[in-house]
Chain A
Amino acid sequence: MSQGLAVEARGLQRRFGDTMALDDVSFDVAPGELFGVIGPDGAGKTTLFRILVTLLLPDAGSARVLERDVVRDLWELRRRIGYMPGRFSLYPDLSVAENLGFYAALFDTTVAAARETIAPIWRQLEPFAGRRAGALSGGMKQKLALCCALVHRPEILLLDEPTTGVDAVSRREFWDLLGRLRAQGLPIVVSTPYMDEADLCDRVTLMQRGKLLVTDRPAEIGRRYPRPLLAVRGGSILGLLGILRRFPHAAAVWPFGAALHYTDARAGAAPEGVAAELRAYVASAGLGGVSVEPIAAGIEDAFMWHMAEEAA
């Protein structure tokens, strides 16, 4: 048995009626690791988190958090876990400071005792200490929720979609805070539907329809992309999309910001050779000013590849 894992999930299964919310989910989180669960709504992320924080029983399989069983040792675990649910669950009519004080009291501690742990977050919240939580911006609400999840100085943080619906800049600030907590050695499990946040984690798992598609370091997931991938730029995206999808060797073509990402169906084909073919093909279709370059796959490319494979 491995020693000291922050999370150890084995064959977790949970069904709701006809829906298999979790289907044989197994993964580990190492001590001090920032671990991301990446997936869209309905992937099963919240079910997984609720089991890990002892709020829901699995139908089958087991999970240990901080080397304690989530079913047997729930009372001990609840004191040692910091959990931020996906839905904002603080008291909107209490001020920022009152919410924090309330959560500290629930855990039989004080805000002062947690000062050091919450310092980086509190610094950003302090100017709003007297404001009602309900009147905070989305980004600030999430920081307050994080602060409350930390106030009893937990040994692991489980954050369920802390950045959903928060603007791009506030999301970045929130991740900066997670980076600082990680530097203190706190293991963090965080879920998100935003693929670009995967790169900020030590390791991630990609989740879809109750299943883990792949679990690895983000860069490794990109490196393991199984086909040649090219970025195509120029002209009208919609026109280019139709033309590329008709190329005989096209496996997938999707818009990616200002570019299109083209995946070739031929595993092992040299990307430069595919690029040359594709340039000739686009030119023969009468499109000028189009650039085609081999690129490294990102998390979103990988997610879409695994999704399509799973569906096939």
Chain B
Amino acid sequence: MAHGGRSRVSGPAIDARALTRRFGTFTAVDGISFQVERGEVFGFLGANGAGKTTAMRMLIGLLAPSSGSATVAGYDVASQAEQVRRRIGYMSQRFSLYEDLTVRENITLFGGIYGLSNRDIAERTGQILSRIGLQRAARELVREIPLGWKQQLAFCVALLHRPAVVFLDEPTGGVDPITRRRFWELIYEAGAEGTSVLVTTHYLDEAEYCNRISIMVDGAIAAMGTPSDVRRGLGAATLDEVFLRLTRPGAAV
């Protein structure tokens, strides 16, 4: 089935065990282990080049691990990548909407790709448009709508087939502070409906909105827990301070 199925088992939505990826002599992801529960909003943080993107590419079945393993929605990312891809949504900063199609056509196209019935597509299109207030813009080309709307639309499209897990790679870059917060309200809602969310961001205030976060440094997870646990664990007042200490141990705070 291309849709409808969430997790195969009642276990964690993401379960990474000593997940590792080497490129030649360089270890981009160095034995990371973590779990994301159903409906959890998990912030996946780290400096540029820390290994976040490589880890994410393994979790969505686009890159084979060098060693270790991971399951997503109960399926192994290496041996059952196709099963994994049917149960996840993915949105990157360069989101994959078609600029030359209208808002409605984009939703229809992705619904078709995900194998949804026409009835489901019609129903979900209505839900999406009313949720993000885009009814009046349904016939506009995606190219013509503001960035903040594109981001919200891309997120809803990534959820169209009701995936078990949605991966968001810096979803809120560049938008105004109000739109950024509206986007996070969409994330919360998805979590409340049982979708697990793994999200990367450079805005550390957004990391505070996550149920739990991990911070990657040089391919390994240097800290993990609820935002307040992570702050307490390092005796830091803010996540900014945590981030600075972990990623630049020599730097003065």
Contact = CB atoms under 8 A, between A and B. Distances in A.
Nearest to B231: A258
Interface in B136-178: 146-148, 170, 173-178
Contacts of B208: 257-258
A170 B48 contact: yes
The winner among A40, A43, A164 for most chain B CB atoms within 10 A is A40
A168 B176 contact: no
Contact of A164 (B47, B148, B173, B209): B173
Interface string B178-190: 1101001100100
B202 A257 contact: no
B174 A193 contact: yes
Nearest to B170: A165
A41 B243 CA distance: 26
B192 to A, nearest CB: 7
A3 to B, nearest CB: 36
B171 to A, nearest CB: 13
Interface in A272-312: 300, 303-304, 307-308
Given A41-B147, A304-B178, A308-B178, A137 B48 contact: yes
Given A41-B147, A137-B48, A258-B228, A164 B178 contact: no
Contacts, number: 85
Nearest to B240: A168
Given A41-B147, A170-B48, A256 B205 contact: yes
B204 interface: yes
B75 to A, nearest CB: 30
Interface in A154-197: 164-172, 193-195
Contacts of B47: 167-170
Interface of A: 39-43, 137-139, 164-172, 193-195, 208, 237-238, 241, 254-258, 300, 303-304, 307-308
A29 B204 CA distance: 30
A126 B177 CA distance: 37
Nearest to A193: B174
B240 A42 contact: no
B177 A195 contact: yes
A225 to B, nearest CB: 14
A226 B124 CA distance: 41
A208 B176 contact: yes
Contacts of A195: 177
Contact of A139 (B48, B181, B205, B251): B48
B248 A169 contact: yes
A41 B227 contact: no
Contacts of B179: 40
B49 interface: yes
